Amino acid sequence: MLKRTLLFLFILVLAAYGQARAEEDPVSKDLITISGSIKDATSGEALIGATVYVEETKSGNISNLYGFYSISLPAGSYHLVFAYLGYDAYETKVELSENQVINVELKPSSESIDEIVVTSERKDANVRDPQMGVEKLKGKTIKNVPVLMGETDLVKVIQLLPGVSPTSEGSSGFSVRGGNPDQNLILLDEASVYNAGHLMGFFSVFNNDAIKDVKLYKGDIPASNGGRLSSLLDIRMKDGNSKKFSGTGGIGTISSRLTLEGPIANEKTSFVVSGRRTYVDLFLPFASDESVRDNKLYFYDFNAKVNHTINENNRIYLSGYFGRDVFKNDFSKMDFGNKTVTFRWNHIFSPKLFSNFTLIGSQYDYALGTVEGGADSFEWESNLYDLSAKLDFDYYINPNNTVEFGAQTIFREILPGLARGTGENSLYNEIKVPENRSFEHALYAQNTQKISDWLVLKYGLRWSLFQNVGAGTQYYYNDNYEFTNSERYGTGEVYNTYHGIEPRLGANFIINPTTSIKASYNRTFQYLHLASNSTSGTPLDVWFPSSPNVKPQKADQFALGLFRNFNDNTIETSIEGFYKKMYNTIDFKDHPELLLNEYLEGELRFGEAEAYGVEMMLRFNRPKWNGWISYTLSRVERTVSEINGGKPYLSPYDHTHDCSIVLNRKLSNRTSVSANWVFYTGAPVTFPVGRYEVGGDIIPLYSERNAERMPDYHRLDLSLILSGKDKPNRKWHGEWVFSVYNAYGRKNAWAINFVRDDDNPTITKAQMTYLFSFIPSVTYNFKF
Amino acid sequence: MKNQNKKYVIAGSLMILLLLNACTEDITLKLNNTEPRLVVDGSVSTDTMVHFVRLTVSADYYSNKEPQAISNALVTIEDDVQKIELSESDRYPGYYLTPNDYYGRVGKSYHLTIENVDIDNDGVFEIYEAESVLNSVAPIDSVRLEYEDTWDLWKVLLYAQDPVETDDFYSFSIALNDSSLTNRYSELGFVDDRFFDGNYAAGVWVQTIDEEDMELELKEGDWVKLNMNGITEEFYDYLVAVDEEVSFKAPLFSGPPSNVKGNVSNGALGFFQAYSYTTDSVQFKR
């Protein structure tokens, strides 16, 4: 099987190449390649997805994730246009007789569109790209959307896009096209982020000042990535300003931030460091209650990146993220956080062949326990890390074929839980849920082929291989999920293997320059799952790999969409339908024990899920007005034979209607206002149909799982942005952001509980808890 | 330990919710109804006394009155040695009582049978059954009270030896001057010894007296009595589930609500348990 797949991948690359050769054969030996990089003229940041357009041939290409582009043409004289939205286009004339390197720097346009908006790189990109179900955001564009407590947060903006919804109010967890939150692959500079939430998930770990580019793939995931069923959130950190030393920062309601970037020695090396810390606890020493004064409650983020251009053909990058939440009182303590490190080496083999070699490490861990050393004091920790190597190639065969291929291997070790007593006469034995180790390997190849002016195909294949490897102890269960025996495996011993072939296909039929129809089919496998049965998740949730008891999750997704632009591409509309079938999905038995449980796999129940829906998007980018309206109509059902009597039940992430309106109005050069309004159908929940009394308690009686719904959710947020005057000889530029979350104070139910009345215990009633009503905040941002 | 851990997480979360200014209010929700089902609530312990089995039916969620009692049932409890028939109380309909010299023995299995009831009103009597083993419990060496100033409450600490080589499950109730402070299952403390199997419990926090919450004030010389019960794993799981279903639920730390799984056959709700019993008291000194 392995051999056959490898062969297939090899043939695919070869075929693309061969076909490309055949097509151009009469002239191929005469093709000459122009290549180079496209950068921002003020900061030197590589521009991702900028376009190169050849007027004479009406063909073009886009820059890759590192700003590299390549285009091959017969000898001759050409006009090249380099463009990127929000930048002045650069036009140049070339006489082509031999391979040329043209490095281009684009200036941000003075008539800059203050996009708060999801942008396309090229005005008509949404019509022309064969990629569908992708949403792009730029770091600087996220900050104008009003958010909770003024904490600019890319995840909160993503939740306003069609097909994406938050898992619960204020949560940084999200569901894509009805998928579970653990089915999203979140990458920060290609490193997996295993828990993207701070402060119980109310804020995401991504400090916007350090972010350059964000892409969310909602289904049509490129063959270069895999391992999760529903989506890929690809976040790229800034490389650092290579032109001059500069800084950005802000003082907000709950946190402050500072980012510094600049060249080191010369333009070849640059760095960026970025930090953020909350300061709620800085006021605690002033508290009147003595026991509160020693409390700790804060989080911080630290991002750092340095890159060095060795020569024309070699550039290296080193980046890292370190973040932690700390909570402590004189009773208990808890801390948790992510660490990631990424080393990259871009190497240009030839003007047509670009490569990137990446080494990645990522870690998530938490610890909690009691503070004092009593008999029942304890410490409890959990730790997950991965080490990964990745090799990616972009091969620009000819103007009509671009092949991406590569390989990745990940080693992952998880310590699900270790608890031990800390006191002198400790009661507790050491309890250790045995570590598990696994490998995830993948090979992929994908070709984007322009068949004709009206048809572009994207076809690729990913082959993924998963291996459970020793040293480790594997538990086995019978058909009733009862533990039967355990097996110990030695170091390096592979004791279980899964693999899968993942086709990734897409087609774009271009009907006319402003209209296209796209279709895609995608298969994805998931070998790592999250043990959480709450809808919002906690920092204590533990990831667990597939194993002899846990088959990989699998999804097939079909999508079809119509894309149409109006008014010189300033208004983009799209309608996309999707159908997603998921196999071996995971749910949990009633009242499961998910933490510190060595028999965790016995708590799992397996089934299928089905999601389908229609997403509509209207996006406008006018000089004074911009924003979008998105609407999604969808349904998600799960079927698990041991849950709900085997009958299908709605996923907790099913929202029939989901609508977001995001508007930004520029009032003057220094003033703008923004608003967003969100509406979605309340999440499915289980309410009681009766009650009964046992042992003095009134216990609710339920019938079907998720047969009822929470009340509908809606909310309006507003913000006003006042920029300081720009003076020619002043570097400092300041800006005030006043915002209000939930402006009309809607009491959105976060939880509904069924409780006994305090005064009359025979009365039971429904009680609603809501979190945020009308939260104003002020933030001062600056840059220099 | 599981429940203590959960408490830390919840305490942490609640602290944050407090910061985020969460509010709670009563709401009116239309709820569906369902057919009534038999509810069994009974126990046998090693204590010599009148034991009871209470029979009621489930009701609509908003019924808001005492549950309807099921009278005139034939209720028997059988172990390997004897089979006794319980007699319904004259004063409390639905309560079926054993003689006052009745007690359970460690290691025996107790089988409950309920006959002569027609809950679904189809004219045919139904039979319901439940069974529970009576597990042993280790003796308490001593009990101590300790003040916890972060949460302003008194911790009741246990000193006892957990037996080696057995999986033991305990529930804990307390009484103040012989009046019980734990009248509901959800107020019991419960632990499973998998974290301390075979160890000596030298001052383990197993119960709590929160003066403000319980609307009482501990006075010099008051007697606090701790009861430690040896329960079955099945009943331990039942207590865990009851605790989950009657506690505050929120998206952060709660799974979907689900029915508490009892041990009575034929679709009846509730639990019939057998447990062993040991007790010790401590006099309160400030």
Same domain, B192 and B116: no
Q: In what order do the strands lie in the sheet with B140-148?
A: B140-148, B153-161, B200-209
Q: Residue A24: what pLDDT?
A: 47
User: What residues contact residue B232 under an 8 Å CB cut-off, 6+ apart?
Assistant: B132, B133, B135, B169, B273, B274, B275
Give yes or no for residue A112 having a pLDDT over 70: no
For an interface test with B, give the residue of A431, A699, A771 to mutate (most B CBs within 10 A).
A699
What is the pLDDT confidence band of residue A88, given thresholds at 50, 70 and 90?
Answer: confident
- Complex ipTM: 0.94
Q: How far is CA A313 from CA A94, A101, A236, A265, A309, in A?
A: 22, 11, 21, 20, 8
Give yes or no for residue A121 having a pLDDT over 80: no
Sign of the alpha-carbon torsion through B68, B71, B74, B77: positive
Give yes or no for residue A590 having a pLDDT over 50: yes
Residues of A in contact with B203 (CB under 8 A): 374-376, 425
Q: Residue A533: what pLDDT?
A: 85
Give the type of residue at A214: V
SS3 of residue B110 by DSSP: strand
Q: Residue B19: what pLDDT?
A: 53
Span A428-465, pLDDT tens digits:
778 899 999 999 999 999 999 999 889 999 999 999 99
Span B171-224, pLDDT tens digits:
999 999 989 999 999 999 998 887 788 888 888 889 999 988 888 899 999 999
Q: Largest alpha-carbon pair distance within chain B?
A: 62
**What average pLDDT does this structure show over A240-262?**
92
Same domain, B154 and B117: no
> What does the mean pLDDT of chain A come to?
88
What is the pLDDT confidence band of residue A19, given thresholds at 50, 70 and 90?
Answer: low
**What average pLDDT does this structure show over B133-153?**
89
Domain ends where: B99, B133, B167? B133
User: What percent of chain A clears pLDDT 90, i.e. is strictly above it?
Assistant: 64
Residues of B in contact with A752 (CB under 8 A): 27, 29
**What average pLDDT does this structure show over B151-177?**
90
Say which of A200, A533, A749 has its CB closest to residue B13.
A200
Q: Residue A491: what pLDDT?
A: 95
Q: How far is CA A65 from CA A160, A235, A393, A394, in A?
A: 25, 11, 12, 10
Q: What is the CATH number of the domain that holds B120?
A: 2.60.40
Same domain, B144 and B247: yes
Residues of A in contact with B237 (CB under 8 A): 591
Q: Residue B1: what pLDDT?
A: 42
Residues of A in contact with B270 (CB under 8 A): 692, 694
Question: Is B230 within 8 Å of B135 (Cβ atoms)?
Answer: yes
Tell whether B121 is covered by a domain. yes
Q: Residue B199: what pLDDT?
A: 86
Residues of B in contact with A287 (CB under 8 A): none
User: What residues contact residue A264 under an 8 Å CB cut-off, 6+ apart?
Assistant: A270, A271, A306
Tell whether B113 is covered by a domain. yes
Interchain proximity A770–B249, CB inside 8 Å = no
Same domain, B158 and B249: yes
Tell whether B18 is covered by a domain. no
Residues of B in contact with A690 (CB under 8 A): 33-34, 36-37, 58-61
Give yes or no for residue B17 having a pLDDT over 90: no
Interchain proximity B252–A537, CB inside 8 Å = yes
Q: Residue A693: what pLDDT?
A: 96
Q: Residue A455: what pLDDT?
A: 93
d(CA A525, CA A183): 10
Same domain, B187 and B240: yes
Say which of A202, A591, A692 has its CB closest to residue B56.
A692
Tell whether B7 is covered by a domain. no
Tell whether B64 is covered by a domain. yes
Q: How far is A67 from chain B (nearest CA, A)?
A: 41
User: What percent of chain A clears pLDDT 70, i.e. is strictly above it?
Assistant: 91
Q: How far is B219 from chain A (nearest CA, A)?
A: 25
Give yes or no for residue A116 having a pLDDT over 80: no
Domain A125-783: give its CATH code.
2.40.170.20
Tell whether B194 is covered by a domain. yes
Tell whether B161 is covered by a domain. yes
Structure tokens at B20: 């985020």
Span A466-504, pLDDT tens digits:
999 989 999 999 999 999 999 999 999 999 999 999 999
Q: Residue A151: what pLDDT?
A: 83
Say which of B8, B24, B64 has its CB closest to residue A762.
B64
Span A159-178, pLDDT tens digits:
999 999 999 888 889 999 99
Report the candidate in A398, A307, A405, A406 with the shortest Cα–Cα distance to residue A351: A398
Domain ends where: B133, B159, B187? B133
The number of residues in chain A equals: 784
Distance from CA of residue B31 to its chain's centroid?
Answer: 28
Same domain, B153 and B232: yes
What is the pLDDT confidence band of residue A773, given thresholds at 50, 70 and 90?
Answer: confident
Same domain, B166 and B65: no
Question: Which of A104-113, A130-139, A651-660: highest mean pLDDT?
Answer: A651-660
Interchain proximity A751–B57, CB inside 8 Å = no
Same domain, B86 and B165: no
Bigger pLDDT: A82 vs A282: A82
Structure tokens at A80: 């090249």
Same domain, B122 and B146: no
Which domain covers residue B191, as residue numbers? Answer: 136-257+276-283
Q: How far is B270 from chain A (nearest CA, A)?
A: 6
Domain locations in chain A as residue ranges = 2-106, 125-783
Q: Residue A113: what pLDDT?
A: 41
Say which of B185, B199, B270 has its CB closest to residue A427.
B199
Interchain proximity B22–A769, CB inside 8 Å = yes
Q: Residue A286: what pLDDT?
A: 64
Same domain, B193 and B105: no
Span B222-235, pLDDT tens digits:
999 999 999 999 99
d(CA A753, CA A365): 32
Name the domain count of chain B.
Answer: 2
Give yes or no for residue B151 having a pLDDT over 90: no
Give the type of residue at A737: V
**What average pLDDT does this structure show over A496-513?**
94
Span B171-182, pLDDT tens digits:
999 999 989 999
Same domain, B144 and B243: yes
Give yes or no for residue A411 having a pLDDT over 70: yes
d(CA A288, CA A291): 9
Q: Residue A194: what pLDDT?
A: 96
Give yes or no for residue A27 having a pLDDT over 60: no
d(CA A651, CA A130): 31
Bigger pLDDT: A14 vs A773: A773
How many Cβ pairs closer than 8 A exist between chain A and B? 258
What is the pLDDT confidence band of residue A631, given thresholds at 50, 70 and 90?
Answer: very high
Task: Name the least confident of A432-446, B68-82, B139-153, B272-286.
Answer: B139-153
Q: Residue A293: what pLDDT?
A: 66
Residue with token string 């002033």: A286
Interchain proximity B251–A751, CB inside 8 Å = yes
For an interface test with A, give the residue of B18, B23, B190 to mutate (most A CBs within 10 A).
B23
Say which of A171, A378, A692 has its CB closest to residue B67.
A692
Same domain, B120 and B43: yes
Give yes or no for residue A54 having a pLDDT over 70: yes
Question: Is A317 within 8 Å of A344 (Cβ atoms)?
Answer: yes
Q: What is chain A's alpha carbon radius of gyration, rounded to the nearest angstrom? A: 27
Quick one: how many helices (H) and strands (E) in chain B?
A: 3, 16
Interchain proximity B201–A380, CB inside 8 Å = no
Q: Secondary structure of chain A: what % helix, strand, coil (to 5)? A: 10, 60, 30
Give yes or no for residue A405 having a pLDDT over 90: yes
**What average pLDDT does this structure show over A393-422?**
93
Interchain proximity B22–A750, CB inside 8 Å = yes
Say which of B28, B196, B248 has its CB closest to residue A753.
B248
Give yes or no for residue A30 having a pLDDT over 60: yes
Tell whether B124 is covered by a domain. yes
Give yes or no for residue B15 having a pLDDT over 80: no
Span A300-323, pLDDT tens digits:
999 999 999 999 899 999 999 999
Span A554-574, pLDDT tens digits:
999 999 999 999 988 889 999
> What does the mean pLDDT of chain B come to?
89
Give yes or no for residue A227 having a pLDDT over 50: yes
Q: Residue A437: what pLDDT?
A: 97
Fold category of A2-106 in CATH: Immunoglobulin-like (2.60.40)
